[in-house]
Structure 1
Amino acid sequence: MSGDDLFLSEDEFEAAVADALDGIPPQLLRLVDNVAFFVEDEAPPEDPDLLGLYEGTPLTERDLTWAMGSLPDRITIFRRPTLRLCRSRHEVVEEVRITVVHEIAHHFGIDDARLHELGWG
């Protein structure tokens, strides 16, 4: 087992992401439209410390033509950067929760500056 795996295995990390999604209020989660969630081990090489990534068209930028042939938006949570950042299992679970909320907020059109103001940076 590598040092990164000391806090959560791959399965445990995926379960933490699922738990974070389960913690989103149902009335808010119902508004998440056409989004697929993924867990990957490593962030892109150009940003190796990235914890999560939203790729898609935020709800605030969608128009009537958006839905024609659009693939689902994608939210990816990166396991190893999260494990490298945290010092305990509890910190990993909390950081996953924050990252999931942060990336869902991007889907709703909230930018990083506003997320930092709100304490979700």
Structure 2
Amino acid sequence: MRHSTPPSLDDILDMAEAAFAAIPAPLRDLVRGTAITVEETPDEETLAEMGIDNPWELTGLYRGVPLTQKSVLDVPQGPDTILLFREPILLEWIETGEDLFRLVRNVLIHEIGHHFGLSDADIARLEGEEE
């Protein structure tokens, strides 16, 4: 997909939804009910909570209770959410030359990994095994 203007929030969301639809059904079913949203950049509160100084370093975030920590006795606190941050994703796209759809898909899958209770180190190990 070629863009003559920077991809919008809706463009990034469309790519994320297409990437989500391509996930095998058994895995997709385990993520069902998790909202996928796109925001321009992470807010100050999120950056402080994550201990991140540079807003361009955070391309995505999982907010919720990982499946490994959920209990049927828990009172739901709202839907789990995967946030994708448009401007940091676009900056990485420009800096790396990576295909934008692949980049959005990778960020989405990384955050889905957190939904399954995987740490950043676990995800990095899995990504390293793919190569």
What is the TM-score normalised by the length of structure 1? 0.83
What is the alpha-carbon root mean square deviation over aligned residues?
Answer: 2.2
Identical aligned pairs, as a percentage?
A: 34
Q: Distance in 1 between matches of 2:107 and 2:41?
A: 15
Q: Which amino acid aligns with 1:113?
A: A
Q: Which runs of 4+ in 1 moved over 4 A?
A: none
Change in CA separation of 1:70 and 1:91 when aligned onto 2, cut-off 3 Å: same
Aligned partner (choices 100, 103, 108) of residue 108 of structure 2: 100
Q: SS in structure 2 opposite 1:39?
A: strand
- Confirm or deny that 1:12 pairs with 2:19: no
Task: Number of aligned residue pairs: give it.
Answer: 115
> Tell me, which stretches of 5 or more residues in structure 1 are unaligned?
none
For residue 7 of structure 1, report the CA deviation from its aligned partner: 4.4
Change in CA separation of 1:31 and 1:94 when aligned onto 2, cut-off 3 Å: same
Q: Distance in 1 between matches of 2:12 and 2:32?
A: 24
Structure with greater proportional helix content: 2
What is the TM-score normalised by the length of structure 2? 0.77
- Confirm or deny that 1:76 pairs with 2:83: yes
